[in-house]
Structure 1
């Protein structure tokens, strides 16, 4: 990716104006090398700092922070000087837009009757993952076949997310404006934390907490009925009953955002359901005993379904037969 496109792309992602394809392109660029990732993280810190001091905005200073990070990263690269200077103003302008909007709200109190809304929608196609930064600075990862809608405004007392499918959230801390995640029959209330919500099955919503503390309600009520701590999980049934349990390893429920699945003594039926979602295939079992077979291993999203089945067969007592996108599993004799 050339310099101009890279800089403009970073600006769009940090300001919440990137499309799904643009967000994915930036993720690919960040993964190319450690230097790219370090540069992005430094710029993101500057961006977050600007968001955290809205009431004391100095837009010129914020613009200079952006410029200094870009210059430091690209000043030693050959053949970039003229083009870089031309692009610099574009990227700085994109990054400063949300700060200027907020400043306008503060300087003109007569606009209090005019509510400016943020509405953000992200969709992950089946078999694909999506990642983005929400307008409030929170990060969200979506598993395949999932959708999230984020809404917030200057005068709302909550940041509201509607989730269909599975999502992992790193919520930007704001004790005055809680972050609410709604699924078909569950409400998760947080202020700043890291957690996973699996809502593929409306009969059983699973909330897994890695950091912080969240409140969970088995209906659409505002007040949480159960609180969970890191290493705990809340399972919400369709009738509103909530079961809380300890889990030894949260990675088993969150590793998908790293484009891999980690299994430790998991039954094959559960594994098959996940493979169907990732690779868009249909998996059947020759008998019930095969469904209950326990497997331990790691499955990478980057591998093809054929490669994945070959690994499964080589590292277990399972063999497979594949016809088109239909797979039949059975125990080796």
Structure 2
């Protein structure tokens, strides 16, 4: 099979619909692996299938169907019957017969798609160290690893590089003590991560798609911050002033501790993993706080507020700050949420069964997406297909 034929087009469409037998799949894979040109054609036809499937209910799709059916009427009765068979089989797909028609539709669909929305897996790189600092005044400043900044937070405090410092510690002013303090926000976009040090010396690693609200200077009898997303904390010990993380209706109270907190909007649970020290976990509905010990992982379901405690290798839970994704028998549906957040790509599933397939392993966060997906494919039962705007997941 050295050229594009009706048979090959039909095989690619059947592959998209998961209707190929093992023998037919092997035949198609042989053709795809024969050359780079064949692989490019394979991806293009899949992208066309996907885009046509997404738009089959709009007005343009009606026009597409009319054109295709008109083309079919000009062919022999046998070929017309075959095309109608495939149209019914796909339910929502337009089947393109003949090399010229395939290239015509590929060109048409690609031209009508915003080039900025295209995703080429081989070109998708990992995230970077970046965040946006929103001051209490409302102004915003982009924070990058290669950009030295000194920002006046007011109240005798400055944000220098990645730390909140007192002006007097820099030798540039007098110490100012206030009864109350305004709150600032650090937001980490998808595809980013950021580490900063708060005014009390507590270090915070913020994961992709996270935000933390914090004061320039802690005041009163406790140190309090608000989190959305995921963060790892190394809290500066101070028995007189407990450190409190508020997130998702929960309160995490510590003195001097290292722990991981996760509460993303698109995740079904709040999760706290304790590495060192002691933590008092409390939900708004709990009468008493839950005392956590090192190695404990607390998970609270957001729907019913049910809380569970397990003993785990908590270092793996926080492996993201060391540059790794660690997946422990994680369903693919949950796994790709984390990949999408870091690589800023969208995934979709060919079947419900594909969502429930699980994967165990560790991959480096800073590897290109293609290498990460290749590793998961080699060790799992999944196949990733680049459709241009999205990555579709099939069961092998």
TM-score scaled to structure 2, two decimals?
Answer: 0.54
**Contiguous gaps of at least 5 residues in structure 2:** 1-140, 149-160
Is 1:306 paired with 2:370?
Answer: yes
- In structure 2, relative to structure 1, the CA distance for the partners of 1:236 and 1:152 (3 Å cut) is farther
Distance 2:235 2:142 in 1: 20
Contact 1:215–1:224 (Cα < 8 Å) also in 2: no
Is 1:269 paired with 2:333?
Answer: yes
> What's the secondary structure of 2:318's corresponding residue?
helix
**What's 2:188 paired with?**
124
> What's the secondary structure of 2:359's corresponding residue?
strand
Distance 2:298 2:362 in 1: 25
Residue 224 of structure 1 deviates from its aligned partner by 5.5
- In structure 2, relative to structure 1, the CA distance for the partners of 1:299 and 1:100 (3 Å cut) is closer
Aligned positions, number: 243
Out of 193, 196, 207, the position equivalent to 2:272 is 207
Q: Deviations along 1:145-197, whole A, 9 cap, x unmatched?
A: 10001126564111110101111111000111111111131111111101111
Out of 135, 142, 146, the position equivalent to 1:25 is 146
Contact 1:124–1:146 (Cα < 8 Å) also in 2: yes
Distance 1:173 1:97 in 2: 22
> What's the secondary structure of 1:230's corresponding residue?
coil
Residue 252 of structure 1 deviates from its aligned partner by 3.2
Out of 151, 162, 183, the position equivalent to 2:247 is 183
Q: CA RMSD in A?
A: 3.3
- In structure 2, relative to structure 1, the CA distance for the partners of 1:303 and 1:325 (3 Å cut) is farther
Contact 1:115–1:153 (Cα < 8 Å) also in 2: no
Distance 1:290 1:197 in 2: 28
Contact 1:123–1:130 (Cα < 8 Å) also in 2: no
- In structure 2, relative to structure 1, the CA distance for the partners of 1:123 and 1:162 (3 Å cut) is same
Distance 2:165 2:282 in 1: 37
Structure 1 residues 236-245 or 305-314, which shifts more?
236-245
> What's the secondary structure of 2:325's corresponding residue?
strand
Contact 1:188–1:224 (Cα < 8 Å) also in 2: no
The answer to which structure has the higher helix fraction is: 1
- In structure 2, relative to structure 1, the CA distance for the partners of 1:96 and 1:195 (3 Å cut) is closer
**What's 2:258 paired with?**
194
Distance 2:247 2:378 in 1: 39
**What's 2:167 paired with?**
97
- In structure 2, relative to structure 1, the CA distance for the partners of 1:257 and 1:228 (3 Å cut) is same
Distance 1:267 1:261 in 2: 14
- In structure 2, relative to structure 1, the CA distance for the partners of 1:195 and 1:26 (3 Å cut) is farther
Distance 2:198 2:304 in 1: 29
Distance 1:272 1:280 in 2: 11
**What's 1:330 paired with?**
394
**What's 2:298 paired with?**
234
Out of 197, 210, 219, the position equivalent to 1:133 is 197
Out of 247, 263, 284, the position equivalent to 1:219 is 284
Is 1:285 paired with 2:349?
Answer: yes
Residue 316 of structure 1 deviates from its aligned partner by 2.4
Distance 1:270 1:188 in 2: 25
Distance 1:318 1:154 in 2: 49
Larger-gyration structure (1/2) = 2
- In structure 2, relative to structure 1, the CA distance for the partners of 1:224 and 1:240 (3 Å cut) is farther
Contact 2:211–2:228 (Cα < 8 Å) also in 1: yes
> What's the secondary structure of 2:386's corresponding residue?
strand
- In structure 2, relative to structure 1, the CA distance for the partners of 1:252 and 1:290 (3 Å cut) is farther
Contact 2:297–2:312 (Cα < 8 Å) also in 1: no
